Structure 1
């Protein structure tokens, strides 16, 4: 039985990150570090403010939920359940908006960042309302904390989709684990030293998270809860900038993009040509070495793209 060759549905994103040139790799690192900085900034503010709990990581929140459940404190248990669900829902929305694991500049990363910015702004309004009200303030506090957890899920889900869990910006447990794994494997197993490039990503992420936490502490001392609006503004500018770039990019280069996808589809349809050779075995030649098959299929594609019917699609 012949097995048809299929394209794998899951692509390892770390291969693409490693193969980036210096320019795209630097942009990826700078963007990841900025998001990690903002995550540390927001998490410190949540600990120092009325929330008084870490929102970025949920290992501690899960343990607290179990403790409150064991003590039959159902109100606190429900609060931590809402936090965990909000984080999961943020990752769910991120996956629904982006819709793929491969990195493409046209994906809705900007929309995710804009949504994150609005959620942070609403969390500020909730905590501001809680600080003014003496009664029933817990509802506003819970809502604000859940909104921040939602933003962390959005951001972490967005980064994980195209990085293969190499870039995680909202919690540092996985980052520190990966740093230890890479160093341990490289020290005792020389074959794995090819993975040392990950340290160029992981170490700056951790340093950025620490710097963000330090900045968040001083910002909260000066601005109190209003300091979270600064993070909301930065994330919003990043999201709007990405959306505008994609709109301009798609507006001015639609023909080039359409022709590129058309050529790719033609390659899939034509496939590899089958050449039948008549005669003795001495006359058989290798088409892969002399390039005849490659030139033939390229000529067929160029002829099909240059036909009047195809050209009318670009006009």
Structure 2
């Protein structure tokens, strides 16, 4: 689901990628809300909070919300920068470093973090870390899927879904309807698995507290192992059957 690039990517590859990472994003989203009482998967709301704090002349809080957006931005920058470095020599492995970095962040915060007020140092650190991790994820999935998939927030997804649902009344050709139906199905899958991640993450949080992030890290690790095993399978297959097609 990670290693296929460009024309080699299929709808199934994007669907697998979308459902897995939106599920993880849902887990991170609800964990951030419950642990530090703030959103950690997108930055749209933080701009509103930033403006509110400026209006109230609470500039220290305003700076905090502004820095939130910067950490998401830095995560996206770091993700793509590392992916581009790896892609120079091994384009099929460009996802390894960003996903591994996200896993490390989730494990570190899940192991060492504590539920805290956002105004505290611990609360800010957790929020900064999770926003950075989600910046990494959103950038990577956008790059791999060529902007077809985004998993950390739903605003754009609901907008695109609304547009495509309206197009059902106008697109009549079979090839157009087939492509449109596939896109709608993909977006509904992302939204559904984000919600499932939020709901299941809330349940796990009642048992594990902030260690719920370890669940998200576990699923990412399984995805990396899955991709690695499939890659090794195809390498062996090509050696045995040189004309086999991936």
Give TM-score, length-normalised by structure 2: 0.81
Secondary structure of 1:99 counterpart:
helix
- Residue in structure 1 matching 2:110, options 124, 134, 138: 124
Answer yes or no: is the 8 Å Cα contact 1:41–1:216 preserved in 2.
yes
Aligned residue for 1:216? 201
Distance 1:99 1:158, change over 3 A: same
Q: Distance in 2 between matches of 1:27 and 1:86?
A: 29
Q: Distance in 1 between matches of 2:232 and 2:34?
A: 39
Q: Distance in 1 between matches of 2:235 and 2:135?
A: 29
Aligned residue for 1:312? none
Distance 1:186 1:241, change over 3 A: closer
| CA deviation string 1:33-87 (max 9, x = no partner) | 01111111110111112x1011112111111011112222122112112211111
Indicate the structure (1 or 2) with the bigger Cα radius of gyration: 1
Count of residues paired in the alignment? 231
Secondary structure of 1:187 counterpart:
coil
Aligned residue for 2:97? 111
Aligned residue for 1:68? 53
Distance 1:70 1:125, change over 3 A: farther
Q: Distance in 1 between matches of 2:126 and 2:69?
A: 14
Q: Distance in 1 between matches of 2:58 and 2:112?
A: 24
2:25 equivalent to 1:39: yes
| CA deviation string 1:136-187 (max 9, x = no partner) | 9811211111110011111111111132322111111111111111111231
Moved over 6 A (4+): 247-254
Higher relative contact order (CA 8 A, sep 6+): 2
Distance 1:70 1:201, change over 3 A: same
Q: Distance in 1 between matches of 2:104 and 2:230?
A: 20
Distance 1:250 1:189, change over 3 A: closer
Distance 1:66 1:243, change over 3 A: farther
Q: Distance in 2 between matches of 1:150 and 1:228?
A: 14
Answer yes or no: is the 8 Å Cα contact 1:114–1:240 preserved in 2.
no
Secondary structure of 1:158 counterpart:
helix
Any stretches of 5+ residues in structure 1 without a counterpart?
1-12, 258-315
Q: Distance in 1 between matches of 2:184 and 2:225?
A: 30
- Residue in structure 1 matching 2:146, options 145, 164, 181: 164
Distance 1:72 1:249, change over 3 A: farther
- Residue in structure 1 matching 2:180, options 195, 208, 211: 195
Aligned residue for 1:177? 159
Distance 1:16 1:179, change over 3 A: farther
Give TM-score, length-normalised by structure 1: 0.64
Measured on the aligned residues, the alpha-carbon RMSD in Å equals 3.2
Any stretches of 5+ residues in structure 2 without a counterpart?
1-5
